[in-house]
Amino acid sequence: MLAAGRTRSFEFFPPKSDDEARVLDATLADLVPLAPSFVSVTYRGGTESRQRTFDLVTRIQHDGAMTAMAHLICVGHTRRAMAEVLKRFLAAGVTNVMALGGDVPEDGTEHASEFAHAIDLVELAREVGDFSIGVAAHPQGHPRSANRADDRRHLAEKLALADFAVTQFFFRADDWSTLVTELDELGVSKPVLPGIMPVTTLSGIARMAVMGAAVPDELVSRLVAANERGGAAAVRAAGIEAATALSVELLERGAPGLHFYTLNRSTATREIHRALFEH
């Protein structure tokens, strides 16, 4: 898909309750008409979450309306257990996976792993079958990297084995351009899909920082001014407008596609998509 042209992809997390499942089903139905290149499903670890991800990914794949990509994480897995997970996906016709390090649970449970880094998971997936493999990229550097130079070197090593990368969300086009330039200097030219997540509430500003990417001061000021001018609705509109403008600039700079973090709701994503692609 990436070789054929620009992609449009959406990311979901598996529901934990019947109410969440109903919301996600409605979201999936809303996004099918947009003909996304693929959709991805996250995975937080643990047997229950693993099964929810498997069930959702295989359902999407078997429905035939969208191509699915399954997230996999190193944390809490032995090589043997992960090999079995990969074989199950292959048997179910799922050949696209995202190989991630994963977060250690706050309660300290299920954190043992036979994988030191995500690159070890990439290597295992290559051994098990013919997968298309994505890895994570952090425009501002991985939180556990000693410095940006180390981060870029490790990412280049992962991309030497993987097929493409998807970035953590960010808010300045320069962040993506700089990342791609630094990878190119290391001899890596594989596609790096920028991750897009609109900030649609003031409370989202703090949440974004916790999730891994601080909202820049200029965007914070814009959202605060919108709130003073028109309240929550104005904040939402300003956030969607900012995400749309970022997407336009990224495409103008040659981004191979756009990957939208949906938080399992479609409205904001569909508004951005409409502004970008439906004229």
151, amino acid identity: D
Q: CA 13, CA 75: separation in Å to the nearest integer?
A: 17
Q: Is 185 a catalytic residue?
A: no
Tell me how far CA of residue 136 lies from CA of 107, 129, 142, 160, 216, in angstroms: 24, 20, 9, 13, 21
214: phi then psi, degrees, rounded to nearest 5: -70, 140
Kindly name the residue from 11, 123, 157, 249 that is annotated as catalytic: 11
**Residue environment code for 224-252, b if the CB has 16+ CB neighbours within 10 A, otherwise e:** eebbeeeeeeebbebbbbbbbebbeebbe
DSSP bridge partners of 147: none
* Both tokens assigned to 223: 């959202």
Indicate which residues carry an active-site annotation.
11
